[in-house]
């Protein structure tokens, strides 16, 4: 959902991006099958920033796609840990309030904390002595907690966003 209450959807099966108003009326979409730079292969997550820019977890193309509010291509960055064609490792992304991104890398059992440009700020492989196992779904609450579905352990892990490592803490 964006700041206006519009709902953005990635249609994984068809590789489309769709936008609906708060009442559910279709506004517009992007069929990405025609343009090479925006052609999606197994999109599994979408985030809309406060400026209206759109980030898409394009899983089997192993990238995060950055589009403007009209769904025009702006940039992309690779995520090598996203395993193509593996239905058991659906990656997700989450835009944090500081405009950095948390990316799950299920096959590598970890989370990446990245700048919008794709520069990696930190890697989180678990909490304390408990590693992640196939981390998939990500959610953020209004108190600053990140929730991670560690699906391989049938757990939901709660992490304070300020506890995600950054290079200064390494």
**Which conformational region is residue 32 in: left (phi greater than 0), alpha (psi within -120 to 50 degrees), or beta?**
alpha
Token digits of residue 29 = 């979409």
Q: What digits encode the pLDDT tens for the residues 18-46?
A: 999 999 999 998 876 667 788 888 888 99
pTM of the predicted structure, to 2 decimals: 0.88
Residue 96 has pLDDT above 90, yes or no: yes
Domain 1-78 is found in CATH 3.50.50.60: no
Q: Would you say the CATH fold of 90-170 matches that of 1-78?
A: yes
- Show the 3-state SS of the chain: CCCCCCEEEEECCCCEEEEECCCCCEEEEEECCCCCCCCCCCEEEEEECCCCCEEEEEHHHCEEEEECCCCCEEEEEECCCCCCCCCCCCCCEEECCCCCEEEEEHHHCEEEEECCCCCEEEEECEECCEECCCEEEEEECCCCEEEEEEHHHCEEEEEEHHHCCCHHHC
Which sequence spans correspond to the domains of the chain?
1-78, 90-170
CA distance 130 to 8: 34
Q: What digits encode the pLDDT tens for the residues 44-83?
A: 899 999 999 999 999 889 999 999 999 999 999 999 888 7
Q: CATH class for domain 90-170?
A: mainly beta
pLDDT of residue 88: 66
The answer to whether 43 and 57 have CB atoms below 8 angstroms apart is yes
């Amino acid at each position: 959902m964006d700041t206006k209450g519009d709902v953005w959807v990635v249609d994984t099966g068809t590789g489309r991006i769709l936008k609906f108003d708060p009442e559910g009326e279709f506004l517009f979409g992007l069929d990405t099958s025609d343009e090479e730079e925006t052609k999606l292969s197994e999109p599994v997550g979408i985030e809309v920033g406060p400026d209206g820019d759109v980030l898409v977890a394009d899983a089997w193309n192993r990238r995060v796609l950055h589009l403007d509010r009209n769904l025009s291509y702006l940039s992309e960055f690779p995520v090598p840990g996203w395993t193509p064609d593996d239905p058991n490792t659906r990656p997700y992304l989450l835009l944090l309030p500081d405009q950095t991104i948390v990316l799950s890398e299920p096959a590598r059992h970890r989370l990446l904390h990245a700048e919008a440009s794709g520069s990696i700020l930190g890697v989180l492989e678990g909490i304390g002595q408990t590693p992640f196992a196939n981390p998939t779904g990500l959610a953020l609450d209004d108190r600053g907690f990140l929730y991670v579905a560690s699906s391989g352990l049938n757990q939901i892990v709660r992490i304070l966003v300020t506890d995600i490592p950054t290079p200064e803490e390494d």
